[in-house]
Amino acid sequence: MYPYVSLNEEDISSIVGTHSELRAVIKSSLVDFKALTMVNVRINRNDKIDYSFPCQGCFDMLNKLGFKDVYFSTKSGNFQRVFFSSLSSFIA
Ligand SMILES: [Zn+2]
């Protein structure tokens, strides 16, 4: 299991439940994720959109399942996109 780390580098694994990415995969009941897009949004305790880049474990899982890309929210309330296919040359 990968540790869940806050932006302040604190290990917060003990206070975090199942990560949203894994929960979405399980709840979808799909078996083929090829070419799908994952959208990950974090709403913080102040009801503001916050940083939601997947942790290393979820990132690897989404890539291995064949997702095309992932959108994640930023602290400024925008979204950024990562294409998994563009990373293939960096992943063993
Ligand atoms: Zn995660």
57 within some domain: yes
- DSSP E strands in 10-57: the ranges are 37-40, 42-43, 49-50
pLDDT, position 92: 43
Asked if residue 6 belongs to a domain, the reply is no
15 lies in some domain: no
Expressed in angstroms and rounded, the spacing between residue 71 Cα and the centre of ligand 1 is 14
Enumerate residues 6+ apart whose C-beta is below 8 A from 79. Answer: 39, 71, 72, 73
Q: Give this prediction's pTM.
A: 0.75
In a domain, 75, yes or no: yes
The verdict on residue 26 lying in a domain is no
Give the Å distance between the CA of 89 and the centre of ligand 1. Answer: 22
Please report whether residue 49 resides in a domain: yes
Query: Integer distance in angstroms from the first to the last C-alpha of the chain?
Result: 19
Residue with the bigger pLDDT between 80 and 3: it is 80
What is the span of the domain harbouring residue 60? 32-90
CA of 1 to the centre of ligand 1 (A): 10
What is the domain count for the chain?
Answer: 1
Distance between Cα 38 and ligand 1 center (Å): 13
Query: What's the pLDDT at 9?
Result: 83
Is position 58 within any domain? yes
